[in-house]
Structure 1
Amino acid sequence: MTQFNPLQTIKRRFFAMRNGIVADTLRKAGSPYRIIFGLNLPQISEIARVTGCNHEMAETLLADNHTRESQLMASMIADPAMIDHDEATRWCDAMLSAEAVDVLCLKLLRRISDPVNTAIRWTTETSPENAPLRRYAGIRLMWNLIPQHSPSLRPVAAEAARQGGDHAALAARLVEEIDFLAGE
């Protein structure tokens, strides 16, 4: 009798829904993953919905950094109650692409206990260790927090925009959005 392996079941679902055109496009665009099934986010979300919240499986998928869809789905099934700032940083550092960071912020990190602190710390971080990806994640996380936390996010985003660098334009657009929503 074969033992049930939930990861194999998930990967079979990825395989059944694969899209070669999307996978080839992602490869040609420089995606860092060795295995790309080419699923779109609604397809991955559907598999995640069927799987349900399963933090242990999320950790397994996160560790599978060779497969694009595994990293994207990990954020969708992880338990936000299990993620503090240090865990969020570990998850962010495990991500290999901006796409994975975007999904991480949207599906998981905005729901952790103190997302504002995490976003601010990453955006203002100066340590060289993975700082560009964390700064990007901090700004992307702020986008998900605008409705509830605009006053505390605006000064941080404005400073990130003033400092320049890779993500200054994204930070500047964040400031514009906060100002627009505030009626300024």
Structure 2
Amino acid sequence: MEIEEILKNTRKAFFAYRNGIIADTLRRNGDPHKSIMGCQLTDVAVIAQQLENNAQLAEAFWNQHSSRECRMIAPMLYPVAAFGQDTALAWCLDVESCEIADILCHRLLRKLDYAQALVKQLLGYEAQLTRYTAFRLLLNIIITGTYKPSDNLRAIAEHELTTAQGYLRPVLNSILEEI
């Protein structure tokens, strides 16, 4: 089946799982996507299980910037072994919401051998969503035990907490609790 056909069929599946109450709530709360079906993460995961893990397909979904559910499913479909550092950085810099950052970190980035190096690279950026993604990934790898926190990390998180915007504060507090 061609990628365009898979995209079309998957959008139909998203439509079948749509939830107007969630979609309206997301819109009211400023979700940046034009197309919001209001699918729950578990529903998107069920749909993803029916598809082949394929880098080209994952890229096609990721490139659907206007669709919340397409952006959600993309990290679920990208084979970990094929997700290169340049692509990882590009996706992190392309994150448009905390929800997409959370899914990207949990479903894909935390599984990468170079996740710790990616965190350090992302912390070099000033954009708040990029910093959020970095700290969210850091929290994921601390929780999974693939990163052992240091005193330096505590100092970085505490310093960031002094100037962090609202959505970053809970992640930083969680990191400090885990340390």
Q: Normalised by the shorter chain, which TM-score bucket?
A: 0.7 to 0.9
Deviation string, structure 1 residues 143-181 (Cα, Å, up to 9, x no partner): 111142443466335313214322355324302222xxx
Instruction: Name 1:181's counterpart in structure 2.
Output: none
Q: Which range moves more in the overlay, 162-171 or 85-94? A: 162-171
Which structure is larger by alpha-carbon Rg, 1 or 2? 1
Deviation string, structure 1 residues 108-134 (Cα, Å, up to 9, x no partner): 1011221011112223x1x44xx3212
Alignment counterpart, residue 163 of structure 2, candidates 140, 162, 165: 165
Count of aligned pairs between the two proteins = 172
**Stretches of structure 1 lacking an aligned partner (at least 5 in a row):** 179-184
**In 2, distance between residues paired with 1:85 and 1:17?**
33
Name the CA shift for 1:76/1:62 in 2 (closer, same or farther; >3 Å): same
CA contact (8 A) 2:157 2:175 kept: no
TM-score, structure 2 length as denominator?
A: 0.87
**In 1, distance between residues paired with 2:150 and 2:138?**
7
CA contact (8 A) 1:23 1:37 kept: yes
Instruction: Name 1:134's counterpart in structure 2.
Output: 130
CA contact (8 A) 1:158 1:172 kept: no
The AA in structure 2 aligned to 1:171 is L
Instruction: Name 2:23's counterpart in structure 1.
Output: 23
TM-score, structure 1 length as denominator?
A: 0.85
Instruction: Name 2:14's counterpart in structure 1.
Output: 14
Identity across the alignment (%): 31
Which of structure 1's runs of 4+ aligned residues deviate more than 6 A? none
CA-atom RMSD, angstroms?
2.0
